[in-house]
Amino acid sequence: MSITEHFGKTVRERRKELKMSQEDLAHVAGINRSHIGQIERGLKSASLTTIGRIAKALNCSPALLLDCPAPD
């Protein structure tokens, strides 16, 4: 799994833990909802600024969202 896919999966899991919709996350983070969907599906990479905004909206650190095992 690529870091882009892992990040998207972790964002989705955290968002669901907080019982937020993609629309809610998009509004709080100031990001377009369709962009959130593409990030969660691993179709788009997020910039550092976007990672920070998503982390803040999900009340966690960017490191939590990016933490994944090193590739083989």
**What are residue 26's phi and psi, to 5 degrees?**
-60, -45
**68 backbone φψ class: left, alpha, beta (φ>0; ψ -120 to 50):** beta
Q: Residue 69 in 3-state DSSP?
A: coil
Residues ≥6 apart with Cβ < 8 Å to 41? 8
CATH architecture of the domain with range 3-65? Orthogonal Bundle (1.10)
Tell me: the pLDDT tens digits for 56-68?
999 999 999 998 6
Which residue type, as a one-letter code, is found at position 67? D
Q: Where are the domains of the chain?
A: 3-65
Tell me: the pLDDT tens digits for 4-35?
999 999 999 999 999 999 999 999 999 999 99
Global confidence as pTM: 0.90
